[in-house]
Chains A and B, each alone.
Chain A
Amino acid sequence: MSQDFFQGYKGDSLEVLKKYNVRVWGQAEIETTRGPFSGTILPRSENDDDQHIVVKIQTGYNIGIDISTVTDMKETGYKKANYKIPEKEFPITPGLPKVKLFGTGGTIASRLDYRTGAVIPAFSPGELYGAVPELADICNLTTEKVFAVFSENMGPKQYMALAKAIGKEIENGIDGIVIGHGTDTLHHTGAALTFMVQNSPVPIVLVGSQRSSDRPSSDAALNLMHAMKTAGHSDIAEVMVCMFGPTSDEYGLLHKGTRVRKMHSSYRSTFRTIGDTPLARVSRDDIIPIKKHYNHRRKDRNVKILPYFSDQVTMLYYYPGMRPDTLDNLVEAGYKGVIIVGTGLGHVNKELYPAIERAHAKGVHMYMTLQTIWGYVHMFVYDTGRDMMAKGIIPAGNMLPEVAWVKLSWALGQTDDPEAVKKIMLTPINDEITEREPYNGYLVYQGGVPEVEEFVKNVHK
């Protein structure tokens, strides 16, 4: 028998299955010292131990059987499950906008993977239509799987491939683009695409889900509808992240790719615009702009694709007592750009100064960003700040640390010249640095305070 018959089993449990000639997906009667069991043998997750066999019993539940208790096993039947989202042809409705969905992996549409026991992406217009039929009322959808990686595996190569694919679609006359993406690094990709795809005439919407689509309460379907609505119907021709506004199934928010950040490990409403308001609210019925100024949709196809990226940029998250060799080692390793994530208004300890000087002397590009997430770097306020600027560190305004990393990588992908790099870094392409922080750009309220409790009770967070 080939390995396929024992999906995921290894070591002792594999031996037991082989000994009794029972396959995965076989129906089996199992005698054990704890009494008899019967059901269908299921594949086992590769990371689980080799001391148990997984069985789906008659009532549909799964259980594990300890192989040390097994005294006999008999296969009485065989039926392999065929896990497939029902695939229906996506209907084309004349008059609806054409939207292209690029798949990159992530949990927008997914199915169970027995190998890891986790969910893996499944993706085609037919499958999506089978799962979210409402999409057909919003747009005419085509899809393309650019690559299938988990969010944390997205990187420079993927950014560039995506930018080129977007460029091609825009030239071909698409009305809007949606990118299905894992949520962990959605905001990194948002920044990268903002820099690599400039002057887009159509909306480019990044979307993901915080609860996988195999759950009835998943946010995937609604996020997808919001994203399609935005891509097909909105007037905002920018790179945006479209995710839940409140954790409730109510509306989505459109965030600029350069100002958005994932702020909670598991909340549905995890994406927040930092230091500004979101671009707009989106529901299944309409898109209501929040910001007055944005790039409008155009008929022309004059998009600029700038797929550059250097892999010689790193980030240094400062902590008190950091030793100079931390920075020295990065320079030694060949990094040409360092985003420093400093404390307060943009500070590091004096101990680091010699290392900063050495790095500057070697031509390393260093930019200061903030651990506080909100606010501007202000290096003139204290001497230390002025010292550091003198030693070559350039303040990056209110650019988010992740965005600064993406932008410096993108800049160094184009030039080494310090002045040219500085010009690129400090000239905002789409609000990665803003001139002003509106009063309602920083809203982190604290529970327990009466007026906040009042707000939370009456407004869906």
Chain B
Amino acid sequence: MQKTFNASDNYQHTMEAIGYVTRQKATQQDYDRIGFMSGLEVHQQLKTKHKLFCKCPAGIYQKPEEYDAEVIRHMRPTLSELGEYDGTALMEFKTRKKIVYHLANETACTYEVDDTPPFHIDREALEIAIKISLLSKLNIVGEVHITRKQYLDGSIPTGFQRTGIIGVEGEIYLKHKKIRLIQLSLEEDSCREVSDIGHTRVYRTDRLGMPLIETVTYPDCLNPDEVREACDYIRFLNRSTGLVRTGMGAGRQDVNVSCRGGSRVEIKGVAHTKWIPDLTHNESFRQWALLAIRDELKKRIKDTGKWKMSHLELKGKNIPDHERFQNSHLKDQKLMAVNLPGFGGLMSHFTQPGKIFADEIKDRLMVIACLIPPFMMHSEELEPSLHADQWASISKQLKGGDQDAQLLFWGPEEDIATALETIDERCRMAIEGIPNETRKSFADGTTIFERVLPGADRMYPDTDTAPLPLANDYIEKLKEELPTEVIDRYHQLQKWNIPEDTYTYIFSRNLFPLVRRLIEELGIDPVFAGTFIGHTFKFIEGHYTRAAEFNTNMIFGMFKYLLDKGIAMEVAEYMLPHIYEHPKMDFDSVLDSISFKKISEADILSMIPFFKNKFAETARQHTPENEKNWIMGELRKKAVGNIALRKLAATLNS
């Protein structure tokens, strides 16, 4: 390698070379150029009393330190129904993790730790899943078969998730296009991770087994914004039933992304839909970058089948001079040097904003070989840890060539073999293209390797449960209980001219039925009703403390009271915070506490001349605009509830 090589310049250069653009600057042409494709798996917890396969209560969470007992398990790969081992399963087995489960008596029974077979499926959950399947225009199956979907990461103590398909082949309609759905399944939620350090992973079991539905779309989204729109739609649709859980973690999505010539990569557990555009944008370009790396490697390596990395252990005087390798730091760990033929100039190749190809290796080492950071250095770090001549010496010991890259890693002796295997495997994958994997997301829009993407080979029929027939008349009965569809509601809000910035809030809190009642039953102006809920109520929710007894029907009651009393609607804005915090107060007392006094319109209007005079005497700038604003301000408190503010303003203007 030439001494003048600068990794940061190379990062910048390769980013430009692949045609990376930021999301702000990206156009549909950019996404078409790289063949952006994306689909979703939207998870939604259902609001049921019990968990899916046992009678433990659903929706109760413990703090990390609140547990009564611990159970330890190890996961081992088994064959799928069709006689194959699953790739993820083998990877997880390689990691040799000890899985510790924390149990709290309140939320876990012997079923959660797989010491009791499943009980009957929760009927409430099944009904909700069927209803949402019907809303999603899915074909409902004749019989639900519970399938075991293997998860060897330990997130479920059985090693598999019990899942049943409720419907297949549906569709949803976005503003401008249709998105096809592959399926909707009813499944048990997994454990929550407490920690994952080295070879030990700790989970708590409170969330485990709660009913969850998963809606899976085809990869029909062709740009990052469409993915978010589709995701919002599915989430709104789920919430429109009023039968699902809301709040932190109740809805989560996995996003599948690929670019042209790329592979399906799944970004797991995206908590907010607003993160989706950046994540999908970056992932599509990460794949695009990996394809460029592949092309370069294919050019450099004549016989890719014969590609071979070399390694040696650095001991004694061969250990580079760096504070990290001083005796006390390295302790019992081994320091290994690896030569990667043909990877020179590619380790610092752009992959994601702020990330380079070497990170792909690093991320896998952490997950698969369980190395504890920091554990790696390489010859193309953006902020070099060793001098170029130190790397030259390492390269020399490894007999590295001009086009080679070198890396150092250190770890416990028993993890070295797996680590070497992992580096070798990831480099070979780079020559092939893009590994199928699941990736963990970060708020900054970047992702890191989580595990190998599981395939259909991890499915196995559940021998502990019998098939559950869904008769026609049962489905017909559930059909009758369905709410209007989200898309119809969406169009209705538009027809009412309610501003779009209120929609997310209205749908996500399932407040459409309230808005409709305000408009249709009380005759309130739709724009006022919509913005009152979508802006005013949203503000109140964010700034006041909700009393347990408060429910949104009280908003309807408040407006009805104002109508009956002939009080103008604007006073609602002042009343609602009191009702929100003290819902037991009657409306008269609420009016008292905001010092509302009933004054006739005429009386208020008659005060205008008085204030006009006062303004003339005291004001510094005598513009009509200032005069109007000042008088509005003075009269506002008296006027609210007694005269529509618009009418007051109109009078002042005239």
Seen from chain A, the residues whose Cβ lies within 8 Å of a Cβ on chain B are: 32, 34-37, 48-49, 51-54, 56-69, 81-86, 111-112, 117-119, 131, 210-218, 221-222, 247-250, 264, 266-268, 447, 453, 456-457, 460-461
**How far, in angstroms, from A210 to B110 measured CA to CA in the complex?**
13
Nearest CB of B to A156, in Å: 30
Contact check, B159 vs A460: say whether CB atoms are below 8 A apart. no
The residue on A at minimum CB distance from B105 is: A447
B73 touches which of A62, A111, A248, A456 (Cβ 8 Å): A248
The residue on A at minimum CB distance from B141 is: A63
Per the CB 8 Å criterion, the residue count for chain B at the interface is 65
Nearest CB of B to A72, in Å: 14
Contacts of B654 in A (CB 8 A): none
Contact check, A456 vs B83: say whether CB atoms are below 8 A apart. no
Contacts of B159 in A (CB 8 A): 215-218
Instruction: Say yes or no: A212-B145 contact (C-beta < 8 A), given A217-B75, A218-B76, A457-B69.
Output: no
Contact check, A247 vs B113: say whether CB atoms are below 8 A apart. yes
> Is residue B467 within 8 Å, beta carbon to beta carbon, of the partner chain?
yes
Nearest CB of B to A245, in Å: 12
Contact check, A453 vs B469: say whether CB atoms are below 8 A apart. no
**How far, in angstroms, from A64 to B164 measured CA to CA in the complex?**
11
Nearest CB of A to B368, in Å: 17
Instruction: Say yes or no: A83-B169 contact (C-beta < 8 A), given A65-B142, A248-B71.
Output: no
Nearest CB of B to A67, in Å: 8
**How far, in angstroms, from A50 to B105 measured CA to CA in the complex?**
42
Contacts of A210 in B (CB 8 A): 115
6 tightest A-B contacts by CB? A64-B143, A216-B159, A66-B142, A35-B139, A60-B456, A60-B459
Contacts of B169 in A (CB 8 A): 35-37
Point out which of B71, B142, B164 has the most chain A C-beta atoms below 10 A from its C-beta.
B142
Contact check, A216 vs B117: say whether CB atoms are below 8 A apart. no
The residue on B at minimum CB distance from A48 is: B467
CB interface residues, B 103-128, toward A, < 8 Å: 105, 110, 113-117
- 22 A/B residue pairs, CB under 8 Å, sorted by A: A34-B142, A48-B466, A53-B142, A54-B143, A57-B165, A63-B144, A63-B145, A64-B467, A64-B469, A66-B142, A66-B143, A66-B469, A85-B79, A86-B85, A213-B78, A215-B159, A216-B75, A216-B78, A216-B89, A249-B72, A266-B117, A460-B71
Contacts of B145 in A (CB 8 A): 54, 61-64
Instruction: Say yes or no: A37-B139 contact (C-beta < 8 A), given A57-B165, A81-B83.
Output: yes
Of the listed stretches B13-21, B150-158, B267-275, B414-422, chain A binds B150-158
> Is residue B339 within 8 Å, beta carbon to beta carbon, of the partner chain?
no
Instruction: Say yes or no: A61-B183 contact (C-beta < 8 A), given A66-B142, A212-B463.
Output: yes
Contacts of A65 in B (CB 8 A): 141-143
> Is residue B77 within 8 Å, beta carbon to beta carbon, of the partner chain?
yes
> Is residue B460 within 8 Å, beta carbon to beta carbon, of the partner chain?
yes
CB interface residues, B 461-506, toward A, < 8 Å: 461, 463, 466-467, 469-472
CB interface residues, B 62-94, toward A, < 8 Å: 67-83, 85, 89
**How far, in angstroms, from A72 to B152 measured CA to CA in the complex?**
40
> Is residue B147 within 8 Å, beta carbon to beta carbon, of the partner chain?
yes
Contacts of B113 in A (CB 8 A): 247
Contact check, B142 vs A218: say whether CB atoms are below 8 A apart. no
Contacts of A117 in B (CB 8 A): 461, 463
Contact check, B469 vs A461: say whether CB atoms are below 8 A apart. no
**How far, in angstroms, from A337 to B645 measured CA to CA in the complex?**
100
Contact check, A216 vs B152: say whether CB atoms are below 8 A apart. yes
Contact check, B147 vs A62: say whether CB atoms are below 8 A apart. yes
Contact check, A60 vs B457: say whether CB atoms are below 8 A apart. yes
Nearest CB of A to B496, in Å: 34
**How far, in angstroms, from A435 to B20 measured CA to CA in the complex?**
83
A32 touches which of B72, B79, B139, B185 (Cβ 8 Å): B139
> Is residue B227 within 8 Å, beta carbon to beta carbon, of the partner chain?
no
Nearest CB of B to A377, in Å: 33
Contacts of B147 in A (CB 8 A): 60-62
**How far, in angstroms, from A63 to B185 measured CA to CA in the complex?**
11
Contacts of A215 in B (CB 8 A): 78, 114, 148, 158-160
The residue on B at minimum CB distance from A269 is: B115
Contacts of A112 in B (CB 8 A): 81, 460-461, 463
**How far, in angstroms, from A63 to B168 measured CA to CA in the complex?**
10
CB interface residues, B 590-630, toward A, < 8 Å: none
Instruction: Say yes or no: A216-B183 contact (C-beta < 8 A), given A61-B163, A249-B72.
Output: no
CB interface residues, B 31-81, toward A, < 8 Å: 67-81
Instruction: Say yes or no: A118-B463 contact (C-beta < 8 A), given A32-B139, A250-B72.
Output: yes
CB interface residues, B 209-256, toward A, < 8 Å: 216
Nearest CB of B to A68, in Å: 8
> Is residue B568 within 8 Å, beta carbon to beta carbon, of the partner chain?
no
Nearest CB of A to B53, in Å: 13
**How far, in angstroms, from A82 to B85 measured CA to CA in the complex?**
13
Contact check, B79 vs A111: say whether CB atoms are below 8 A apart. yes
**How far, in angstroms, from A182 to B409 measured CA to CA in the complex?**
47
Contacts of B142 in A (CB 8 A): 32, 34, 52-53, 63-67, 69
**How far, in angstroms, from A174 to B81 measured CA to CA in the complex?**
36
**How far, in angstroms, from A67 to B160 measured CA to CA in the complex?**
30
> Is residue B369 within 8 Å, beta carbon to beta carbon, of the partner chain?
no
Contacts of A461 in B (CB 8 A): 69
**How far, in angstroms, from A34 to B130 measured CA to CA in the complex?**
13
B150 touches which of A59, A86, A216, A221 (Cβ 8 Å): A216
Nearest CB of A to B244, in Å: 22
Point out which of B82, B85, B458, B470 has the most chain A C-beta atoms below 10 A from its C-beta.
B82
Nearest CB of B to A77, in Å: 15
Contact check, A51 vs B469: say whether CB atoms are below 8 A apart. yes
**How far, in angstroms, from A250 to B99 measured CA to CA in the complex?**
11
Contacts of A86 in B (CB 8 A): 85
> Is residue B132 within 8 Å, beta carbon to beta carbon, of the partner chain?
no
> Is residue B632 within 8 Å, beta carbon to beta carbon, of the partner chain?
no
The residue on A at minimum CB distance from B111 is: A266
Contact check, B143 vs A267: say whether CB atoms are below 8 A apart. no
B160 touches which of A48, A131, A216 (Cβ 8 Å): A216
Instruction: Say yes or no: A460-B458 contact (C-beta < 8 A), given A63-B143, A112-B81, A112-B463.
Output: no
- What would 18 more interface pairs be, CB under 8 Å, given A61-B459, A457-B68? A34-B142, A37-B139, A48-B466, A53-B142, A54-B467, A60-B456, A61-B185, A62-B165, A63-B165, A63-B168, A65-B143, A66-B472, A81-B81, A247-B71, A248-B70, A249-B73, A266-B116, A460-B72
